[in-house]
Amino acid sequence: MPVLYGSYRSRATRNLWLAGEIGLELELRQVWQAYRLDKPDAPDAPFNTRSRGFLSLSPMGAIPVLVDGDLVLAESLAINLYLARRYGGDLGPRDEAENALMTQWTLFAATAMEGPGLAIQNVHTYGRADSEAGRGEIADKVEALGRPLRVLEGHLGRDGHMVGGRFTVADINVAEILRYAQSHEPLLAEYPAVDGWLRACQARPAFRAMWDRRAAEPMWL
């Protein structure tokens, strides 16, 4: 059985959502981010991203990490692409062209949207959205997202899904990245095809089950 080291309140949500979609038995071994612990370096601290045993798997000290047989794989998006190819059936690529397109859209989202989206989420998370500086930062990141969102709007308006006219790992990867920017509600109202597609992705039972487990996991220890 593949083993995933991570937590629900991390980018492992991408992998856990995919596993739920394909019915993959994936053993989750809890790894807390060090910043969520009061004393992560204490001898009795829970297993976390500074723990020596975890750093032997992930020298960067980042979650998630997948162990599948002899394979040790970091980076949540790469993990999803691998799991979809190996275990995912129609959620994975049907041929090399689809494989290339799934990789393309995954990298597109990671490079063009994740940074600005995370910045928007952080402004809201840390209570700065109503400050002048926070509003300015949001406006700047919304502008940065304009071009990639226009690309997505045109693509989804034509095809309905990221690849192959069906729900695939590419939808999961892009949706999970775009989720960060959802905290700024006016943004997606300008892109109805993107908004409708994202809402449909997040209405899927596997996403809802993952999200409920994420909500149940404490933020701090």
The answer, yes or no, to whether residue 127 has pLDDT greater than 90, is: no
The model carries a pTM of 0.96
Q: Are the beta carbons of 119 and 141 closer than 8 angstroms?
A: yes
- Candidates 205, 201, 206, 203; CA nearest to 178 is 201
> Mean pLDDT, the chain, as a whole number?
96
Same topology for domains 3-90+211-216 and 92-207, yes or no? no
Tokens representing 179 are 């989720």
* Residue pLDDT, tens place only, 13-37: 999 999 999 999 999 999 999 999 9
Q: What is the CATH number of domain 3-90+211-216?
A: 3.40.30.10
Q: pLDDT-based confidence at 7, cuts 50/70/90?
A: very high
pLDDT at 4 over 90: yes
Is residue 50 pLDDT above 90, yes or no? Answer: yes
- Could you tell me if 207 and 14 are in contact, meaning their C-beta atoms sit under 8 angstroms apart? no
- CATH class of the domain defined by 92-207: mainly alpha
Work out the pLDDT band at 204, boundaries 50, 70, 90.
very high
| Mean pLDDT confidence for 195-207 | 98
Which residue ranges make up each domain of the chain?
3-90+211-216, 92-207
